Chain A
Amino acid sequence: MSKEIIGTPQQYEQFCQVLEELKSVPGPVMKAMQSAQDIYGYLPIEVQSKIASTFGVSLEEVYGIATFYSQFNLNPKGKYTIGICLGTACYVKGSGAILDKFKEKLGISPGETTADRKFTLDATRCIGCCGLAPVLTVGGEVFGNLTVDDVDRILARYND
């Protein structure tokens, strides 16, 4: 295992602290991965490797978990993640067309990030604001009762 620091010194210190705390917890691997992703924004292979060696499991197992769950990212994300809800309520109210519009505007498909690392596009599962359907989130902010015509307005808000 390499002794090199992963990420910035602060990130690495935080990461090591989390691993230390989890040593006494049963079934710690996923918790460690979730904390690591909070710290680094994604799960670089070095991070996975360190988690594996810390808890005595194989890298394959950690990688297997990372690829099993949709919330783990193996690649860095854009500055803003646009999550378009494709839950039932939103779908029947036309969120599919809104997603298409974003695809067209940003030139990327769900799961991809724009070349300038500004936007990541996601098609999400129900986020539970069905009363506001169709909805989408940008970062933590929720936009509801949308139509295709709102797409430009939303993108313009993040024009920085």
Chain B
Amino acid sequence: MLERAHILVCGGTGCTSGNSKKIFTEFERILKDNKLDGEVKLIMTGCFGLCARGPIVVVYPDGTFYQHVKPSDVEEIVVEHILKGRPVERLLNKEKDEDGSVKPFNETAFYKSQHRLVLRNCGVINPENIDEYLAYDGYLAYQKAVTEMTPQEVIDVIKASGLRGRGGGGFPTGTKWQFARNSVSDKKFVVCNADEGDPGAFMDRSVLEGDPHSVIEAMMIAGYAIGADQGYIYVRAEYPIAVSRLQIAIAQALEYGILGDNAMGLGHKFNIELRLGAGAFVCGEETALLNSTEGKRGEPRQRPPFPAVKGLFGKPTLINNVETYANITSIILKGADWFASMGTEKSKGTKVFALGGKIHNTGLVEIPMGTTLRTIIEEIGGGIPNGKKFKAAQTGGPSGGCIPASLIDTPIDYDNLIAIGSMMGSGGLIVMDEDNCMVDIAKFFLEFTVDESCGKCTPCRVGNKRLYEMLDKVTKGEATMEDLDEMEALCHYIKENSLCGLGQTAPNPVLSTLRYFKDEYIAHVRDKKCPAGVCKALVSYEIDPALCVGCGLCKRGCPVGAISGEIRQVHVIDPKKCIKCGACIAACRKNAIKK
């Protein structure tokens, strides 16, 4: 039976945290109560991307986009919208067309400049139902590859498309496949790196949650191309929804005969096993991931030999990231030229970014390569909240660097980001405003890498620790100008001498902040001041006598009794007692307290 409406409820991690499961069951119950369960189809989808406005519900055929939906809103949506055909105004997005009508969601600023290729099925299909994937040309690319193309032809198409590894390195994917194909062995493996560990990054998670079959299909194509019959998906255990949807997807693909000894009846064998991580960032590094997949400590291996020659269980292995795989089926179906028509000269296609930090529209965005940071932040991201000024964007997580406001018009692609001292990374994009201290941010990332260093090689294990201590001195106002020079020298030493990608990139946040925000470092060192007012040791709180009305709120809010003053008299903070917790600033209604 054909349904007259579809209700899509977002089942991504963000919206699930906002109780979208309860919203889903409420819809089930209320649709049933109104005897609509045969006419209206209810679907739990993957991520829509606009996590800041979650939980999200979309109603088709009209494409009405409801935001911040609560379980208590469900009845109104069913009764007003589904029964009477009147969308619930108060839950709609606020962007209006010139004629005053609410814009369809794909025309709003957040979606308009996006190009959803990797995320094409996220927020569209039910990821727990293989039939929906099949209806959207699912497993057609595998069929085409196996029946119409030789393995070498598959690789040639990937090469010609210009696709580069989306995990951060940007290595040409076709070349990687070629290496794995050229290795001669009785057994080869295809591995998917789904150990998305960068803080602030959740692109791969959303693909796995919203469209797990696209990754499975791409791995099957890779298996055919390089001559492998076994795949492994190594996924973070911190992603329970992604893990469970992958399990469901693999089980359904087996049941349909899509995976198995005679995959899709086309004469090739391919199976996939899931391996779960256990909380070690270094496992995102490909050789460490291979060790961990084998059930060992996730320490990196020396390269060469590269995994394409000697990888998992000592056999030639192709290893790609989730987002890289998610591009494959479209390239096979639509051709290399179509893919290469998007993007810049050396970076083709699109890139998914997880937009976070000080920005209105936090969430997941997919843009053609070459889009400027300005478009992402001002248009798609909706700008910085609270009227603050954009200071910098951090890409590439703990391995990347920051892009200062002066470079906001740089077209984003692999080579441009490297040139300005950052990197694409896996796609975390954290926006910072004037209240963020860049020395503190560098210290934060370094603390992360120090903690996550596996300890195998000395430059990373000891070098980063020493670097962290130097940064700590800076944030406490105890460093000298010579320390800054030494820091920079140490950064280069660590980069040149570490064994794996973790160590080789760990100093990047320090180097890039030193490059663009040296004046902030100097302010910490020479003037003993933290311009952003973040570094506690360098901040002192003062009450502006001109603004203080003597209401006493700050005095009551202070946990250590550092504030004194009679009612209706100007209050004062005793710097000796003050612990710089900020409680007084939060309490004051006159903005009289300054850092």
Residue in A27, A31, A88, A126 whose CB lies within 8 Å of B313: A27
- Does B595 sit within 8 A of A, measured CB to CB? no
Q: Please, which residue of chain B has its CB at the minimum distance from the CB of A34?
A: B276
- Does B174 sit within 8 A of A, measured CB to CB? no
Stretch from B163-171, B175-183, B251-259, B287-295 at the A interface: B287-295
Stretch from B216-224, B355-363, B523-531, B545-553 at the A interface: B355-363
Stretch from A11-19, A67-75, A113-121, A152-160 at the B interface: A67-75
B278 and A128 contact, CB distance less than 8 A: no
With A142-B17, A144-B18 as given contacts, are A130 and B200 in contact (CB-CB < 8 Å)? yes
With A97-B582, A126-B199, A144-B17 as given contacts, are A133 and B362 in contact (CB-CB < 8 Å)? yes
With A68-B280, A89-B430, A125-B238 as given contacts, are A132 and B18 in contact (CB-CB < 8 Å)? yes
> 1/0 contact trace for A61-101 toward B, CB 8 Å?
10011001111100000000000001111011100010000
- Does B436 sit within 8 A of A, measured CB to CB? yes
B297 and A34 contact, CB distance less than 8 A: no
A125 and B295 contact, CB distance less than 8 A: no
Within 196-246 of B, Cβ neighbours of A (below 8 Å) are at 197-202, 205, 237-240
- Does A45 sit within 8 A of B, measured CB to CB? no
The interface residues of chain B lying within 8 Å CB-to-CB of A129 are 13-14, 17, 51
Q: A59 to chain B: closest CB distance in Å?
A: 14
The interface residues of chain A lying within 8 Å CB-to-CB of B593 are none
Q: A2 to chain B: closest CB distance in Å?
A: 24
- Does B418 sit within 8 A of A, measured CB to CB? no
With A88-B394, A89-B357, A92-B358 as given contacts, are A126 and B430 in contact (CB-CB < 8 Å)? no
- Does B123 sit within 8 A of A, measured CB to CB? no
Count B interface residues, CB 8 Å.
54
With A29-B296, A132-B18 as given contacts, are A70 and B278 in contact (CB-CB < 8 Å)? yes
Within 441-488 of B, Cβ neighbours of A (below 8 Å) are at 441, 444-445, 454
The interface residues of chain A lying within 8 Å CB-to-CB of B294 are 26-27
> How far apart sit A124 and B238, CA to CA, in the bound complex (Å)?
10
Q: A90 to chain B: closest CB distance in Å?
A: 9
B278 and A71 contact, CB distance less than 8 A: yes
Q: B436 to chain A: closest CB distance in Å?
A: 6
> How far apart sit A33 and B278, CA to CA, in the bound complex (Å)?
10
| Among A28, A70, A91: residue with most chain B CB under 10 A | A91
- Does A30 sit within 8 A of B, measured CB to CB? yes
> How far apart sit A42 and B322, CA to CA, in the bound complex (Å)?
31
Residue in B18, B205, B295, B428 whose CB lies within 8 Å of A28: B295
B296 and A30 contact, CB distance less than 8 A: yes
The interface residues of chain B lying within 8 Å CB-to-CB of A34 are 237, 276, 278
The interface residues of chain A lying within 8 Å CB-to-CB of B445 are 88
| Among B17, B237, B397: residue with most chain A CB under 10 A | B17
- Does B154 sit within 8 A of A, measured CB to CB? no
The interface residues of chain B lying within 8 Å CB-to-CB of A70 are 278-280
The interface residues of chain B lying within 8 Å CB-to-CB of A89 are 199-200, 356-357, 362, 430
B430 and A92 contact, CB distance less than 8 A: yes
Q: B12 to chain A: closest CB distance in Å?
A: 9
Residues of A within 8 A of B (CB): 25-31, 33-34, 61, 64-65, 68-72, 86-89, 91-93, 97, 124-133, 135, 140, 142, 144, 148
